[in-house]
Amino acid sequence: MELRALHYFVTVSEELHFGRAAERLGIVQPAVSQQIVRLERELGVRLLDRTSRRVQLTQAGERVLAAARETLAAAARVRVVAGEPAAVLRIGVASCVTPRLDRAMRRLRDGERPAEPELIDLPPTARLEAVRDGELDLALMRGAVTSATTRVVRAWSEPLHAVLAPEHPAAGKPTVSLHDLDPRGLRLPARDTDPPMHDAVLALLPVAPPRPPAGNLLNVLFEVSRDPGGWTLMPAEQLAGSRTDLVHHVPLDPPMTVDGHIVTSLATPETCVASYMTAFTD
């Protein structure tokens, strides 16, 4: 039985759609189907009920899914414990490359136990699930991160900046207070795009935002750029990794910060967690 087949099965089980699973895995759909059929034949049970409209786990599939996740996580632990020179280190990140991430890549390559980082762009919730399932060695997360199935370690703190349209009255100021920004102009991404970050920002606001969330971060920045009274909040390092002339960003006074976390498997050795902390902390 190949780990690849278990990986494909777990992905299909999470997506309940062969096309989406293939897209997530970066392969063609027939290859996914072949691996699932082969796994079912090897185990002697049907794992998935498939129709033209839906894919659903069978009772046997539910049992195998739990065992497959445990197996993949165990395989990931073996690779980490082995500590082979220049072993590939799979890191779940957001799409933008920040100075912190760039610096950490150099530290990981040049450390006592050299690693070759592989950056994998996944949404926040998928990052946590991938660490849990052994598909990632670690993930980087901002905000109010909690998890019972992974280990979450606070690694850094970074300031939040107000992001404003160029025509906003505060765009040219050295700093701005949240109390000086009109709550009616606040735009926030929908919570499901990044629950930990969304919750952390809401906890800092003096009043609840009057507007409903505006889709993903790209939608928010576009709306802010078109509204002279519009604004949002973003981590300074994230802004440094995604510069645009459409908006201006101004530090807050008094300063407000958001925490950054390293997320690993519950079984990741302490020595490995310590090396990750060394790489990503200031």
Confidence of residue 159 (pLDDT cuts 50, 70, 90): very high
What values do phi and psi take at 153, rounded to 5?
Answer: -125, 125
How much is the pTM? Answer: 0.67
> What pLDDT, on a 0 to 100 scale, did the predictor assign at position 69?
87
pLDDT digits (tens, 9 = 90+) for 160-212: 999 999 899 998 899 999 988 999 899 999 998 999 999 999 999 888 777 77
Tokens of 166: 């160029």
Please tell me which of 21-35, 80-94, 170-184, 229-243 the model is most confident about, judged by mean pLDDT: 170-184
Average pLDDT over residues 65-71: 88
For residues 265 and 75, what is the distance between their CA atoms, to the nearest angstrom? 12
> What pLDDT, on a 0 to 100 scale, did the predictor assign at position 86?
54
Q: Is the dihedral of CA 19, 24, 26, 31 positive or negative?
A: negative
> What pLDDT, on a 0 to 100 scale, did the predictor assign at position 111?
72
> What pLDDT, on a 0 to 100 scale, did the predictor assign at position 207?
80
> What pLDDT, on a 0 to 100 scale, did the predictor assign at position 161?
95
What values do phi and psi take at 10, rounded to 5?
Answer: -60, -40
- Which of these CATH numbers, 1.10.510.10, 1.10.10.10, 2.40.37.20, 3.10.110.10, describes 1-82? 1.10.10.10
The closest of 158, 159, 129, 157 to 263, measured between CA atoms, is: 129
Average pLDDT over residues 151-158: 95
Domain 158-255, CATH class in plain words: alpha beta
Tokens of 244: 């645009």
CA dist 84 → 89, 105, 114, 132, 255 (Å): 11, 17, 8, 22, 43
Same fold across 1-82 and 158-255 = no
- Decide if 279 contacts 179 (C-beta within 8 A): no
Confidence of residue 50 (pLDDT cuts 50, 70, 90): confident
Residue type, 246: L
For residues 213 and 203, what is the distance between their CA atoms, to the nearest angstrom? 15
For residues 55 and 125, what is the distance between their CA atoms, to the nearest angstrom? 22
Q: Higher-confidence residue: 85 or 119?
A: 119
Residue 72 makes CB contacts below 8 A (sequence gap 6+) with 3, 6, 7, 10, 133, 134, 135
> What pLDDT, on a 0 to 100 scale, did the predictor assign at position 197?
93
For residues 252 and 274, what is the distance between their CA atoms, to the nearest angstrom? 32
Lowest mean pLDDT among 61-75, 83-97, 180-194: 83-97
For residues 19 and 245, what is the distance between their CA atoms, to the nearest angstrom? 37
> What pLDDT, on a 0 to 100 scale, did the predictor assign at position 244?
66
> What pLDDT, on a 0 to 100 scale, did the predictor assign at position 83?
53
For residues 177 and 255, what is the distance between their CA atoms, to the nearest angstrom? 9
Residue type, 156: W
- Decide if 262 contacts 140 (C-beta within 8 A): yes
What are the structural domain ranges in the chain?
1-82, 158-255
pLDDT digits (tens, 9 = 90+) for 213-228: 778 888 898 899 999 9
* % of the chain at pLDDT higher than 70: 94
Residue 59 makes CB contacts below 8 A (sequence gap 6+) with none
pLDDT digits (tens, 9 = 90+) for 91-147: 999 877 688 888 999 898 887 777 888 889 888 989 998 998 888 999 999 999 988
Tokens of 52: 């033209």
Tokens of 168: 């906003």
Whether pLDDT at 243 is above 90: no
Lowest mean pLDDT among 79-93, 189-203, 225-239: 79-93
Tokens of 275: 């090396």
Whether pLDDT at 276 is above 70: yes
